[in-house]
Amino acid sequence: MNYTRRSFVKSAGIGSVALASYPRINLMAERLPSVEVLNPYNRVPVSLIIDDSTCLVNMAYYGIPQFAEVFPDNYKQDWRKLPREIPDSFVREFGEWCHDNGVKGKYSIVPYPACTGWVNRFIPGWTKRELENSLDLIREVIVPGWDIHPEMISHTRVIDIKTGKPFPYPTPDYMENWEWSQKKSADELAEYQAYALSILKEAGLPCEGLTTPGGYGERNQDNLAISTLEAVREVYGAEIPHYFRDLFTEKGKSVSPQVLHPGDLDGPDPRCVVSILGCTSDWFGGWDGLNPGSADKFITEDLLSGRMVEVIDSGEPAIMVCHWPGIYFNGDRIGFNILKKVKSRLDQKYDNLVWMKLSEISRYWAAKELTTITVDSNKITLQAPFSSPGFTLKLNSTLRNPKIQIGANELKSLVKVKNTTEIKSNNWYSDKSGSILCFNLKKGLNELIL
């Protein structure tokens, strides 16, 4: 007797996006242990999305006058008083602090930042050596803990990818942030996004996903998802492409990642794309670095409330959103200091968090939602289209000595821990309410002997 997990696909989300259904465990027999897939390591994932970052260029300084040309009543900031550069010395300071404190997430590299120059070639106003040093710094300090995303090509004007030149029309129809993307086909979007990705690849940066600038794809989300899947796989060959487009700050609104357009899950080339959802607005320093935020919106000084508390206590991934100019805040570091305060408060309140890159969260959710699980009286079989470290199951029964099958013949015992906060890969925990098992899920067949 057994019950299985997976595998029907339904139409859900925005438009007609194919969304992987979860949960997909159907009980077929009584007296068998029930199985629930928990968060990785039985912890709540947290992450930080950084938008409008790139090499050297302060996107606010160069972007505001271009936005103002399109919507003069909406962009009255005095951009001339902003610094034109966010220096590499700050990138190093920020990156090293994040490494020392375990902070991870996503860091954009806009390929043709506000039409100033190309990160894979040269940017006028800086020497070739300065650009090369900036890219080296990204690889050394940022890449180990952060996903790198293009934020389309320029984040301002739409680029004619046949010529590499911006279209000469300062209208919403030719700005990446607004109308250009809303009626494009999946193939048209994929071609444009592949152009952006290829620039980062030529610059020697790794990439498994992309970020949309402003309202890019807002009313065209099915094609956005499909085009991301196609473009990231084409340029980088990434197994599980992902993207960031939306955030929700409403209490009670789910911010769980969406696993979209799964296909060929039992074949040689399984695929899907994951939409990562932020749970906060930019309450650090704003996209232009002119409006200081507040740590209290994330988590209050008494640790009792705030958006991060709401989401973490719900058990869903809590992913903060910020913009690089506001983190730097014109050299005053106001956004950076707010981040330090938020991190300190989270550490005071919680002992069950795990900082993850967006690609790591995407991989876990793809495995969580697309793995077939079969249970009988003494064994759990998992058929996984994707591997994932820290895969964690909860059973409503107590165990004695669970083992995991390694290869054709080798059985390896899981190591029992005394507290759920100690759980790591190849650990298990049990009490009167049931058992938790954590292991590295392999692509293909996995067996847990109970």
Q: What are the structural domains of the chain?
A: 9-42+370-449 (2.60.40), 44-361 (3.20.20.370)
pLDDT of residue 399: 86
Q: What is the CA radius of gyration of the chain?
A: 23
369's tokens: 């939602």
pLDDT averaged over consecutive 10-residue blocks of the chain (450 residues)?
A: 29 43 45 88 99 98 98 97 98 98 98 98 98 98 98 98 97 98 98 98 98 98 98 98 98 96 96 98 98 98 98 98 98 98 98 98 98 92 97 92 80 93 96 94 94
| Closest of 217, 219, 218, 193 to residue 207, by C-alpha | 193
pLDDT of residue 45: 99
What crossing angle do the helices spanning 334-349 and 307-314 adopt, rounded to 10°?
40
Specify whether the CB–CB gap between 50 and 105 falls below 8 A. Answer: yes
pLDDT of residue 60: 98
pLDDT of residue 401: 86
Residue 84, CB half-sphere, CA atoms under 13 Å: how many? 9
Residue 319, CB half-sphere, CA atoms under 13 Å: how many? 27
- pTM for the structure as a whole: 0.94
pLDDT of residue 26: 38
Q: How far apart are CA 421 and CA 242, in angstroms?
A: 29
pLDDT of residue 28: 45
Specify whether the CB–CB gap between 355 and 347 falls below 8 A. Answer: no
pLDDT of residue 29: 44
Residue-wise DSSP of 104-115: -EEEE--SSGGG
Specify whether the CB–CB gap between 156 and 205 falls below 8 A. Answer: no
Tell me which residue has tokens 């279209």.
167
Please state the separation of Cα 260 from the chain's center in Å.
14
pLDDT of residue 267: 94
Strand order of the β-sheet with 403-406 is 372-375, 379-384, 444-449, 403-406, 410-413
Q: State the greatest distance between any 2 C-alpha atoms of the chain, in Å, as a whole number.
A: 71
pLDDT of residue 24: 46
Q: How far apart are CA 22 and CA 369, in angstroms?
A: 6
Q: How far apart are CA 49 and CA 106, in angstroms?
A: 5
Q: Which residues are bridge partners to 394 per DSSP? A: 36, 436
Q: How far apart are CA 341 and CA 293, in angstroms?
A: 12
pLDDT of residue 18: 54
